[in-house]
Chains A and B, each alone.
Chain A
Amino acid sequence: MESLHGLGTATDWVVMFVYFIGIMLFGSYFAKYNRNTNDFFFGGRRFAWWLITVSIVATGVGSHSFVKYAAKGLEHGVSSTMTYMNDWFFMPFFLFGWLPIVVYTKIKSIPEYFEKRFSPTVRLIATVFQLLYMIGYLGIGLLTLGKVFTPLLPASFDIFGLFIPVNLMGVIITIAAITGVYTTFGGQTAVIFTDLIQGVILLLAGFLIFLMGINYVGGLEAFWHLLPPDWRLPLADFNSPADFNFVGIFWQDGVAGSVGFLFMNMGLLMRFMSAKSVDEGRKAAVFNVLFMLPLSAIVVGNAGWIAKAILGMAKPALNADVNPDEVFIAVTHIIASKGVFGFVIAALTATLLSTVDSLINAIAAVYMNDVHPHVRKLYAKRVTTQEQTSKEELFVARISSIVITAVGILATIPFSKYPTVYQAHGYFHSTLTPPLVTAIFLGVFWKKFTPAGVLATFLGGSSLMILGATYPDILIAPIAHGTPFDPVHPYSYISALYNTIVCVAVGVLITLTLSWQKGIVNKIRKSASHELMMKVFIGIIVASLIIIWVNVLPLVISMIIVLVMTVLVSLTAQYYIHFDPNVHLDGLTAWSIHRAKEIFKGGKVNEREGEVVSAQWRVRKDNEDYVSVSKADMKKMEAEVGDLVYVCDKRKYLGGLKSFHSKYGEPHEENGVVYIGEEHRLSAQFQEGKIVTVEKEM
């Protein structure tokens, strides 16, 4: 396989440098809209759906990048779009189950939901899975960046007589160091606006390549007929080859990946949480899946299709032996002129960098919120001042970011052993998402699902997954739908089906037998040595996990050990963890969303549908958190005193940037006038004389 080097010219490097500086300055301008941590993390719940939709493009394209889809576009054609076109099936669950719960319960991380819904112990185990998932994503991001940059650099550098060869690992480490410098100062608002402009540029750059490519091969008709018939189909072959087949990718991406992306990607959820209301977040999600994802699929995959068409021409300008992961760079280099090539690469790498950077920040946030408080107990002095604590936390956050980046670099090593980034990402997704996805899904939609069920899913389910990875020819083959067995990378995709089945089966079976287990736990409690028995149970659980992990016993004995361990986990959880349905289900499942709304509002919900009213704004003398409008306007909006209100600059193109949330105060008599507090004016940055719209949120 040919590897490329030295494709970047001086013009391209200048264009890339200017682009990066421009993007960083653009992002830092929006830092002024942060007035508290809610603004910093969530952008202050103010934005319009269209603004969020476009900003999500950079997130989706950044993590599911040009590199891997162009590679699959070359190898398999239009079916590279498959993974962008199968996200609709879980939208009802997401839009009317999970999204309102996330917004109304104001959770800041997925593990926090596990604590509210189950218990602190479950939160700790969920944190471990979440960190593994995010670090895996970081490894994929860094590996992709390395694969983008390596072809641009010469084969070696000669600096003052020092000969430095350019290899993938060296490039990855250098990029990780640069990423540390490329941090976002402005918080979520700056991230949203940086991603907004990057999303637009990415779409333009992608379509620019497509149009130039079509033109290069002689028009649309010529392009279509240069593609072999199998390359024109939108779905891959049902069960072959091993590295790209429909049925495996359906379960890995369409099921585990879609649910993982919608339910546990905190970066994406935080975007939807920055919408002005739940309904606005729904609009953003719907528009994203219906229109932006299919467009993104064309944008990221078309370089591969163009490459295949070029290879079908009489005198192809492309080497037939090109490395698939470098085909995007190779095709862009052939069809784009100097400078344009630099622009496209800059657009791609800036997005990838911001994805990687926000991932490092997100992992650091999970560490600081979910792990560090436990670590701190081990060394912290009894009395520290607030100032000392915040200084120490800032220091720890920085150190943890550095450590996380280093772990991310290490994570690229196993991934780089896969033939393409796509397959590495597929296997990682198949392995890490099923336990968390099952736990969230059953937790949200099944009231009977308790800490015993979720802990059994985490520990029993993941043990069965380890057995599946160890004995794929026995455990996974029967449900592999005839996909070929590759001994080096066995069942990269269809293993997601096996992993999902075992996690769901464990969770459901344990939950359905809870009343029988409760009888056993009650008997244990009555025995004289009940505490000793539970300690023995915990010892057996730990020993079982180690035995499964080191894999020294035959399969049948290992299976029996896992089943016994799963039951013991459930019994132990019921013995130690107090589960109170009135607390752990209140507003935290799809069955109690109305209650979640009441908790969010702090009172009875008013669901009557009213109008949006335009008004002039005036600032009151006091700084209380309420706004007042006239009685007539209240009637138009079907609003009552104490309802939640959203006030926004009337200019639609601002996308809600100048806006704030508050509550209705007592009405006055001046129609078309809204009185607001000074803090409202500062956070929304309203301009004198500009009209605002006032609407009831709930």
Chain B
Amino acid sequence: MPSFSHSWLPFIYLYGFGGLFFFAGMYIIHKTKGLDLRLKRNKWWRKVLYFGFFYFLIIHAILIIAALYW
């Protein structure tokens, strides 16, 4: 069985620090009005950005579970 430092620890670190950068980015583009939510298409873009973050998080989680238990 692979060790914790090779399976879930990198995952937690990746989405901990990565999440920090991602949500800081979301906050800043909201503050600068780079992503101006008064426009309908930008509401769609906000969903796309959040989708991307959780899409990679779920893929990595599935791959780790497959490696550990399949």
Chain A positions near chain B (C-beta within 8 angstroms): 78, 85-86, 88-93, 95-97, 100, 224, 229-230, 232-239, 246-247, 250, 254-255, 279, 282, 286, 289-290, 294, 445, 590-591, 593-594, 607, 609
**B30 shortest CB reach to chain A, Å:** 9
> Of A232, A247, A445, which is within 8 A of B67 by CB?
A232
- Minimum CB distance partner of A259 in chain B: B21
* Bound Cα distance from A286 to B22, whole angstroms: 14
Take A92-B22, A92-B25 as given contacts and tell me if A250 and B39 are in contact as well, using a CB distance cutoff of 8 Å: no
* Bound Cα distance from A255 to B18, whole angstroms: 9
* Bound Cα distance from A296 to B59, whole angstroms: 15
Chain B positions near chain A (C-beta within 8 angstroms): 1-3, 5-7, 9-11, 13-14, 17-19, 21-22, 25-26, 28-29, 32-35, 39-41, 45, 48-49, 52-53, 55-56, 59-60, 63-64, 66-68, 70
- Minimum CB distance partner of A445 in chain B: B28
**Residues on the B chain within 8 Å of A254, using CB:** 14, 18
A-B contact pairs, 29 of them (CB 8 A): A78-B67, A85-B56, A88-B18, A88-B56, A89-B25, A90-B21, A91-B22, A93-B29, A95-B49, A96-B34, A96-B45, A97-B34, A229-B1, A229-B2, A229-B67, A230-B2, A230-B6, A232-B66, A233-B6, A234-B67, A235-B6, A235-B60, A237-B6, A237-B10, A238-B6, A238-B9, A238-B13, A250-B10, A590-B29
| Cross-chain contact B33 with A594 (CB below 8 angstroms) | yes
**Residues on the A chain within 8 Å of B7, using CB:** 233, 235
**A557 shortest CB reach to chain B, Å:** 34
**Residues on the A chain within 8 Å of B56, using CB:** 85-86, 88
| Cross-chain contact B33 with A92 (CB below 8 angstroms) | no
Take A95-B45, A239-B5 as given contacts and tell me if A233 and B64 are in contact as well, using a CB distance cutoff of 8 Å: yes
**A80 shortest CB reach to chain B, Å:** 13
**Residues on the A chain within 8 Å of B70, using CB:** 224
* Bound Cα distance from A286 to B45, whole angstroms: 10
| Cross-chain contact A286 with B48 (CB below 8 angstroms) | yes
* Bound Cα distance from A119 to B47, whole angstroms: 38
**A326 shortest CB reach to chain B, Å:** 27
* Bound Cα distance from A97 to B13, whole angstroms: 26
* Bound Cα distance from A233 to B35, whole angstroms: 36
**Residues on the A chain within 8 Å of B33, using CB:** 593-594
Known pairs A85-B60, A96-B34, A289-B52; list 8 more (Cβ under 8 Å): A92-B25, A92-B28, A95-B45, A235-B7, A237-B3, A250-B17, A282-B45, A590-B29
* Bound Cα distance from A294 to B26, whole angstroms: 23
**Residues on the A chain within 8 Å of B19, using CB:** 89
Take A93-B28, A594-B33 as given contacts and tell me if A250 and B5 are in contact as well, using a CB distance cutoff of 8 Å: no
**Residues on the A chain within 8 Å of B40, using CB:** 609
**Residues on the A chain within 8 Å of B11, using CB:** 235
| Cross-chain contact A78 with B63 (CB below 8 angstroms) | yes
* Bound Cα distance from A385 to B60, whole angstroms: 62
**Residues on the B chain within 8 Å of A246, using CB:** 10, 13-14
* Bound Cα distance from A91 to B55, whole angstroms: 14
| Cross-chain contact B22 with A88 (CB below 8 angstroms) | yes
**B33 shortest CB reach to chain A, Å:** 7
| Cross-chain contact B34 with A234 (CB below 8 angstroms) | no
**Residues on the B chain within 8 Å of A282, using CB:** 45
**Residues on the B chain within 8 Å of A247, using CB:** 10, 13
* Bound Cα distance from A239 to B67, whole angstroms: 19
**Residues on the A chain within 8 Å of B48, using CB:** 286
**A76 shortest CB reach to chain B, Å:** 10
**B13 shortest CB reach to chain A, Å:** 7
| Cross-chain contact B60 with A91 (CB below 8 angstroms) | no
> Of B34, B59, B67, which is within 8 A of A85 by CB?
B59
**Residues on the B chain within 8 Å of A238, using CB:** 5-6, 9-10, 13
Q: In the complex, which of the residues A235, A239, A279, A290 has the most CB atoms of chain B within 10 Å of its own CB atom? A: A235
**Residues on the B chain within 8 Å of A90, using CB:** 21-22, 25
- Minimum CB distance partner of B62 in chain A: A234
> Of A92, A230, A593, which is within 8 A of B49 by CB?
A92
* Bound Cα distance from A290 to B53, whole angstroms: 10
* Bound Cα distance from A93 to B30, whole angstroms: 10
**Residues on the B chain within 8 Å of A250, using CB:** 10, 13-14, 17-18
* Bound Cα distance from A364 to B51, whole angstroms: 40
**A273 shortest CB reach to chain B, Å:** 18
**Residues on the B chain within 8 Å of A86, using CB:** 14, 18, 56
* Bound Cα distance from A445 to B49, whole angstroms: 19
**Residues on the A chain within 8 Å of B66, using CB:** 232
Q: In the complex, which of the residues A85, A88, A594 has the most CB atoms of chain B within 10 Å of its own CB atom? A: A88
> Of A97, A232, A286, which is within 8 A of B28 by CB?
A97
Take A88-B52, A88-B56, A591-B32 as given contacts and tell me if A235 and B64 are in contact as well, using a CB distance cutoff of 8 Å: yes
| Cross-chain contact B26 with A92 (CB below 8 angstroms) | yes
**B59 shortest CB reach to chain A, Å:** 7
* Bound Cα distance from A688 to B55, whole angstroms: 45
| Cross-chain contact A234 with B1 (CB below 8 angstroms) | no
* Bound Cα distance from A107 to B59, whole angstroms: 37
* Bound Cα distance from A282 to B52, whole angstroms: 13
| Cross-chain contact A235 with B49 (CB below 8 angstroms) | no
**B21 shortest CB reach to chain A, Å:** 4
* Bound Cα distance from A250 to B15, whole angstroms: 11
| Cross-chain contact B53 with A88 (CB below 8 angstroms) | yes
**A521 shortest CB reach to chain B, Å:** 30
| Cross-chain contact A234 with B63 (CB below 8 angstroms) | yes
**Residues on the B chain within 8 Å of A590, using CB:** 28-29, 32, 34
| Cross-chain contact A236 with B10 (CB below 8 angstroms) | yes
* Bound Cα distance from A593 to B29, whole angstroms: 11
Q: In the complex, which of the residues A224, A232, A594 has the most CB atoms of chain B within 10 Å of its own CB atom? A: A232
* Bound Cα distance from A97 to B35, whole angstroms: 9
* Bound Cα distance from A590 to B1, whole angstroms: 47
* Bound Cα distance from A239 to B10, whole angstroms: 9
| Cross-chain contact B32 with A97 (CB below 8 angstroms) | yes
* Bound Cα distance from A90 to B18, whole angstroms: 9
**A178 shortest CB reach to chain B, Å:** 39
**B23 shortest CB reach to chain A, Å:** 9
| Cross-chain contact B32 with A89 (CB below 8 angstroms) | no
* Bound Cα distance from A385 to B20, whole angstroms: 57
**Residues on the B chain within 8 Å of A294, using CB:** 59
**Residues on the A chain within 8 Å of B39, using CB:** 607, 609
* Bound Cα distance from A166 to B63, whole angstroms: 42
* Bound Cα distance from A136 to B63, whole angstroms: 34
**Residues on the B chain within 8 Å of A229, using CB:** 1-2, 67-68
- Minimum CB distance partner of B28 in chain A: A445
* Bound Cα distance from A528 to B7, whole angstroms: 66
**Residues on the B chain within 8 Å of A594, using CB:** 33
**Residues on the B chain within 8 Å of A286, using CB:** 48, 52
| Cross-chain contact B49 with A234 (CB below 8 angstroms) | no
* Bound Cα distance from A487 to B48, whole angstroms: 45
| Cross-chain contact A290 with B55 (CB below 8 angstroms) | yes
* Bound Cα distance from A86 to B11, whole angstroms: 11
**Residues on the A chain within 8 Å of B18, using CB:** 86, 88-89, 250, 254
